[in-house]
């Protein structure tokens, strides 16, 4: 089969699909990944064909940073929606070109409506792939805000539906623009999940997170959703660390990691100083990853206990540190959990609040921190609490379970079970997992 995958966003959105695309190819399928040009090298390095779509999420995140700093998630959504509405006409054209010979379309995140709409236009099967629990459930609270106490099942369900509609109303502009360009019926006011059209064209969802981190709830029917496990593009064996990083790691006890990935803030210097003060208060050595720019190298006296880096593959680095302080993105959360690390989560936007809550619930994240009011003392205390024996033991146990999980093979098995992919030899697929 020829499979077209639509994923639009940060590297955290593209990297899991590079892994999935590689596994699809190992199973005998042709694959293209439709994403912005920033991720071309990542996709092609995984041996998958790349097709560019017009988008620059680094620039988009920069425009949305004021809303993120203010904590208003709907404003963030509106900023993203305005940019995506401008891109939508070109997206529709590029999507049609990218699916000319396709047999199956997958879509995720901001690429969900685009992939689903072009599949509808071409009469192709469509599957969603998501990295956060989006299907309303009595057993899972809404993604945002993180609940401070356990809610009744009816409240979880009602709030999740309400949040879904609110998010749709925020993001409806680009979605409807794509539908117009493709000359498809517009979605209802409440969104594509409600009404006759949805019942006729409902698409199953691959949930690419670990059941050990968030189990599939009993009110998600197996024919509609499958929690299959995280998709990891491992690079540890092929990546060569710079000398400064190698020397720092060998110079003392395993450091902690601090990094906020693709997140940005309007006051990078203040956040960096807060992090540095917290690290010093905690008494740890630290590697600080600047990522897309939420943190920056600080002007300070030489300090043998601190090292700033741009980035490093998580599967390589996280096996060499003792604890991870991060933003709660699904990919970083998965990599840290798989490495058996205690975690301190400082969420910025969207599902990061959910993963912060979920890690707190299972005992791996000691505090629900609010970035807007967080102090160096708060962060240092959370680091110290995460470094205790009980939290470390829980993290190591979860890591063992997740390392035994093959989310890529599980995803292919689910697609075969649903009759979307032709049956293949599962043992052969799993045997090739070490190559990804």
Q: Is 154 exposed, middle or buried (0-12, 13-18, 19+ CB in 10 A)?
A: exposed
Q: What is the pLDDT of residue 17?
A: 96
- Residue partners of 15: CB distance under 8 A and separation at least 6: 42, 233, 331
pLDDT averaged per 10 residues, the chain (length 436) = 91 92 94 92 94 73 55 64 77 92 93 93 96 94 77 92 88 90 92 64 89 96 95 89 96 96 84 95 95 81 86 95 96 96 92 93 92 94 95 96 96 96 63 48
| The model's pTM | 0.90
Q: How far apart are CA 117 and CA 128, in angstroms?
A: 12
Q: How far apart are CA 189 and CA 233, in angstroms?
A: 38
**Both structure tokens of 113:** 């409506």
Query: Any idea which residue has 């629900």 for tokens?
Result: 368
CA dihedral 234, 237, 242, 247 (to 10 degrees): 110
Q: How far apart are CA 174 and CA 286, in angstroms?
A: 41
Q: Is 17 exposed, middle or buried (0-12, 13-18, 19+ CB in 10 A)?
A: buried
CATH 3.40.50.2000, applies to 243-403: yes
Q: How far is CA 95 from CA 81, 186, 241, in A?
A: 18, 18, 37
Q: How far apart are CA 118 and CA 126, in angstroms?
A: 9
For residues 25 and 408, the answer to whether their CB atoms sit within 8 Å is no
- Residue partners of 149: CB distance under 8 A and separation at least 6: none
* CA nearest neighbour of 227 among 131, 160, 336: 131
Q: How far apart are CA 405 and CA 428, in angstroms?
A: 16
Q: How far apart are CA 210 and CA 415, in angstroms?
A: 17
Phi, psi at residue 313, to the nearest 5°? -55, 130
CATH class as words, domain 2-233+406-435 = alpha beta
Q: What is the pLDDT of residue 261?
A: 87
Instruction: Name residue 306's beta-bridge partners.
Output: 286
For residues 275 and 326, the answer to whether their CB atoms sit within 8 Å is no
Q: State the sign of the Cα–Cα–Cα–Cα dihedral 422, 331, 218, 199.
A: negative
Instruction: Name residue 325's beta-bridge partners.
Output: 258, 344
Q: What is the pLDDT of residues 325-379, one digit of tens each?
A: 999 999 999 999 999 999 999 998 878 999 999 999 999 999 999 988 999 999 9
Q: What is the pLDDT of residue 200?
A: 41
Q: How far apart are CA 68 and CA 76, in angstroms?
A: 6
Which bin fits 141, alpha (ψ -120 to 50), beta or left (φ > 0)? beta
Q: What is the pLDDT of residues 35-61, one digit of tens each?
A: 988 899 999 999 999 998 876 666 666
Helix H, strand E, coil C: the string for the chain is CEEEEEEECCHHHHHHHHHHHHHHHHCCCEEEEEECHHHHHHHHHCCCEEEECCCCHHHHHHHHHHHHHHCCHHHHHHHHHHHHHHHHHHHHHHHHHHCCCCCEEEEEECCHHHHHHHHHHHCCCEEEEECCCCCCCCCCCCCCCCCCCCCCHHHHHHHHHHHHHHHHHHHHHHHHHHHHHCCCCCCCCCCCCCCHHHHHCCCCEEECCCCCCCCCCCCCCCCCEEECCCCCCCCCCCCCCCHHHHHHHHCCCCCEEEECCCCCCCCHHHHHHHHHHHHHHHCCCEEEECCCCCCCCCCCCCCCCEEEECCCCHHHHHHHCCEEEECCCHHHHHHHHHCCCCEEECCCCCCHHHHHHHHHHCCCCCCCCCCCCCCHHHHHHHHHHHCCHHHHHHHHHHHHHHHCCCHHHHHHHHHHHCCCCCCCCHHHHHHCHHHC
Q: Pinpoint the residues of the chain covered by CATH 3.40.50.2000.
A: 2-233+406-435, 243-403
For residues 136 and 161, the answer to whether their CB atoms sit within 8 Å is yes
């Amino acid at each position: 089969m020829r499979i077209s995958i639509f994923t639009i966003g940060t590297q955290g959105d593209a990297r899991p699909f590079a892994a999935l695309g590689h596994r699809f190819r190992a199973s005998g399928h042709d694959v293209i990944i439709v994403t912005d040009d920033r991720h071309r090298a990542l996709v092609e390095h995984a041996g998958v064909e790349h097709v560019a779509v017009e988008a620059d999420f680094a620039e988009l995140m920069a425009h949305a940073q004021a809303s993120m700093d203010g904590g208003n998630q709907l404003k963030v959504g509106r900023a993203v929606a305005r940019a995506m509405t401008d891109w939508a006409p070109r997206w529709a054209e590029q999507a049609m070109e990218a699916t000319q010979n396709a047999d199956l379309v997958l879509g995720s995140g901001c690429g969900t409506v685009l992939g689903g709409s072009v599949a509808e236009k071409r009469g192709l099967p469509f599957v969603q792939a998501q990295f956060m629990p989006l299907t309303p459930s009595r057993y899972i609270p809404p993604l945002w805000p993180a609940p401070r106490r356990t809610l009744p099942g009816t409240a979880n369900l009602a709030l999740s539906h309400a949040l879904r509609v609110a998010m749709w109303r925020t993001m409806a502009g680009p979605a409807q623009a794509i539908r117009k360009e493709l000359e498809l019926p517009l979605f209802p006011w409440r969104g594509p999940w409600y009404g006759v059209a949805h019942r006729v064209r409902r698409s199953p969802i691959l949930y690419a997170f670990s059941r050990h981190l968030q189990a599939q709830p009993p009110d998600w029917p197996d024919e509609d959703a499958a929690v299959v496990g995280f998709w990891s593009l491992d690079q540890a064996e092929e990546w060569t660390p710079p000398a400064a990083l190698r020397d720092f790691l060998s110079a003392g006890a395993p450091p902690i990691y601090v990094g906020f990935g693709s997140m940005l803030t309007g006051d990078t210097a203040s956040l960096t100083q807060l992090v540095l003060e917290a690290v010093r208060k905690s008494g740890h050595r630290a590697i600080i990853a600047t990522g897309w720019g939420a943190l920056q190298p600080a002007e300070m006296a030489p300090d043998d206990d601190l090292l700033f880096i741009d980035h490093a593959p998580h599967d390589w680095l996280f096996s060499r540190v003792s604890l991870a302080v991060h933003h709660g993105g699904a990919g970083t959360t998965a990599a840290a959990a798989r490495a058996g690390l205690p975690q301190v989560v400082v969420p910025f936007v969207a599902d990061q609040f959910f993963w912060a809550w979920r890690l707190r619930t299972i005992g791996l994240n000691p505090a629900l921190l609010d970035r807007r009011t967080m102090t160096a003392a708060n962060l240092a205390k959370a680091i110290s609490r995460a470094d205790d024996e009980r939290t470390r033991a829980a993290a190591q146990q979860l890591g063992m379970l997740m390392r035994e999980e093959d989310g890529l093979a599980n995803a292919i098995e689910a697609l075969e079970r649903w009759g979307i992919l032709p049956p293949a030899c599962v043992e052969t697929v799993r045997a090739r997992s070490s190559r990804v």
